[in-house]
Chain A
Amino acid sequence: MADSIRLEVVTPSRQVLSVTAAEVSRLPGRDGLIGVLVDHSPLMTTLGPGILGYLESEGGTEHGIVVDGGFAIIKDNVVTVLAEDARTGDQINVDDCRKALTEAEAALTEGQGSDDEDALRDRIALHESCLELAAHA
């Protein structure tokens, strides 16, 4: 029995993360958070924007990375995340994020009920996650 999980995060333009983790504590699934422990059964899921958290050692501190939608495949203790974009805490510009968040919120109040609503909600969730992660970093 394996005692660790391999976590890989890739985006179309690069490989962002490749680490060995004891536990993937937060996986932002479309329908809610998923926690992945060793020997999780094979799973494929779509991801929403949010923070992906993992523990490098059991009971250690949680490391986080923001992912912007995509997919995750869990199989044979390998968690592969195919994200559209992914950012670690130090890659986040807090000011830009705040500005984008305010803009998205304004656009949402204005365009209530339009087709873009879901997309805007995603943007908001993404920027909120970024800010949350930056605050902890």
Chain B
Amino acid sequence: MVSASKLRRAQEAAEAARPYASRMTEMFAGLALDPEEVSHPLLVSRAAKRAAVVVVTPDRGLCGGLNTNVNKLGWQTVQKLEGEGLSVEVVAVGRKSRDYFTRRGVEVSRSWTGLLASVDYSDVQEVGNHLVDQFMEEKFDRVELVYASFKSVISQIASVQTLLPISVEQAETEAPAAPFLFEPSEEDVLGSLLPKYLEVRLFQALLESAASEHGARMSAMDAATRNAGEVIDKLTLIYNRTRQESVTSELLDIIGGVEALNA
């Protein structure tokens, strides 16, 4: 079971990444941002005109309904945003989403492939930087992320979340007991933290997608093997029956011939 070992590795990677992500969320919470006071370009929700949907799928098929489900949710998200009067482009991570949206005539402004094979933080940074740059340049005003969140080997759920603008409420804000000192300053810390926060969320989404891919492929292939077994049984039965029939009819021919000679 190749997928089984790949799945284990992907799951381990996803688990190893958890401490960083949770610490980062804690830190974000520690900032105890007041939505009224804080201003940073990545936090500002502008009047949205253009939106980007980041769709994360595997590069390859044969993993059950995973690609279809994620792409379908991506498509619904695109339509929903278009319904709100926004012009939408897709940033595709994975060959399957790129091909799907190209076929449907949605503008795929940028695409990456081969990222899920071994999820690397530097690759994620590249995607993150692209999104942050485009957002800062106001190429788009809103970014939605569609990916397969990993629940278990047999359950992967296509999920959507808003990446940008980063909403302050997303981090559970509880007032810290002692206020923090900041070095060099609160703005600087926030300024470097926000893009990282985005990257970490992307990283997690990619790790989960990778785990989902292997999980889905494993159960799909398992089902396929079982199906093939059933088909083989059925075909063997038909084959034997047909052979028996032909043997019987040949025997009847011979017996008939002998009877005719004896008569």
Whether a CB of chain B sits under 8 angstroms from the CB of A13 is yes
Partner pick for B27 among A12, A13, A44, CB 8 A cutoff: A44
| Residues of chain B at interface, number, CB under 8 A | 30
Whether a CB of chain B sits under 8 angstroms from the CB of A104 is no
Q: How far is the CA of A46 from the CA of B193 in the complex (A)?
A: 9
Q: How far is the CA of A8 from the CA of B20 in the complex (A)?
A: 10
Could you tell me if B183 and A73 are in contact, using CB atoms closer than 8 angstroms? no
Could you tell me if A15 and B183 are in contact, using CB atoms closer than 8 angstroms? no
Q: How far is the CA of A31 from the CA of B182 in the complex (A)?
A: 11
- With CB as the reference atom, state the residue of chain B lying closest to A85: B121
Cβ of A43: which chain B residues have Cβ within 8 Å of it?
180-183
Could you tell me if A30 and B178 are in contact, using CB atoms closer than 8 angstroms? no
- Could you give, for residues 160-201 of chain B, a 1 whenever the CB lies within 8 Å of some chain A CB and a 0 otherwise? 000000000000000010111111100011001100100110
Which A residues fall within an 8 A CB radius of B? 8, 10-15, 29-31, 34, 41-46, 70-71, 73, 75, 80, 82, 84
Which B residues fall within an 8 A CB radius of A? 13, 16-17, 19-21, 23-24, 26-27, 30-31, 121, 124, 176, 178-184, 188-189, 192-193, 196, 199-200, 203
> What are 16 A-to-B residue pairs whose CB atoms are below 8 Å?
A8-B23, A10-B19, A11-B20, A14-B16, A15-B16, A30-B184, A31-B184, A42-B176, A42-B178, A44-B27, A70-B196, A71-B27, A71-B189, A73-B23, A75-B30, A82-B20
User: Beyond the given A30-B183, A46-B184, could you list 5 further A-B residue pairs with CB under 8 A, ordered by the A residue number?
Assistant: A15-B16, A42-B181, A43-B183, A75-B180, A82-B20
